[in-house]
Amino acid sequence: MTNLSGFYESVKDFSANNDMINQFIFVGSEEELESIEFDYRTFVMIPSSSNISRELNRPIYTLSFDCVIIDKYPYQEETSMMKCVEENMFVAGQFQDYLIQNNENVNIGEAEIDSLGNDSYNVSTVMFTIDVDFARSPYVKSIIS
């Protein structure tokens, strides 16, 4: 992938064509998630940081995204919770495989599993960070003043 727009479209296509994902959301910050109503199994991406480098004469942009896979399950049902966690992890693995198949230079960090609930249902999440490298021009650009 050569730019952020192309990467975004690739992730959006993955989400749209994956039978286990009902909704894809790209937000600017975690605070925006508080006001969003989730469908079952939602894939969320949040840009979190970036790095601009010319280290070893390899000019790249590295962008980090926090990714969250969210799903609901019936309140206080252990079997449903285990199935939900298992399926969320499976989708995270599918996402990693999809990126590798599309020759993305991506690193996926440790996945964190969490659950929280209310009186009618619980929510299970798998959270992980991906770092994506995008190529830059191989020479130093002139700066006009």
CATH number of the domain to which 125 belongs: 3.30.70
- What is the 8-class DSSP label of residue 142? P
The model carries a pTM of 0.83
Proportion of the chain above pLDDT 70, given as a percent: 87
Where is 14: in which H helix or E strand?
A: helix 4-17
Give the per-residue pLDDT at 134: 78
Give the per-residue pLDDT at 142: 66
- In this prediction, residue 35 has a pLDDT band, given cuts at 50, 70 and 90, of confident
Three-state DSSP at 83 gives helix
Cα–Cα distance measured from residue 108 to residue 67, given in angstroms and rounded to the nearest whole number: 10
Q: How many Cα atoms within 13 Å fall on the side-chain side of residue 101?
A: 9
* Residue 141 domain-assigned (yes or no): no
* Residue 145 domain-assigned (yes or no): no
- In this prediction, residue 54 has a pLDDT band, given cuts at 50, 70 and 90, of low
User: What's at 17, amino acid-wise?
Assistant: N
Summarize pLDDT for 59-92 with one digit per residue, the tens: 778 889 999 999 988 877 788 888 889 999 999 9
* Residue 120 domain-assigned (yes or no): yes
* Residue 122 domain-assigned (yes or no): yes
Domain count, the chain: 1
- In this prediction, residue 29 has a pLDDT band, given cuts at 50, 70 and 90, of confident
Work out the average pLDDT over 29-35: 81
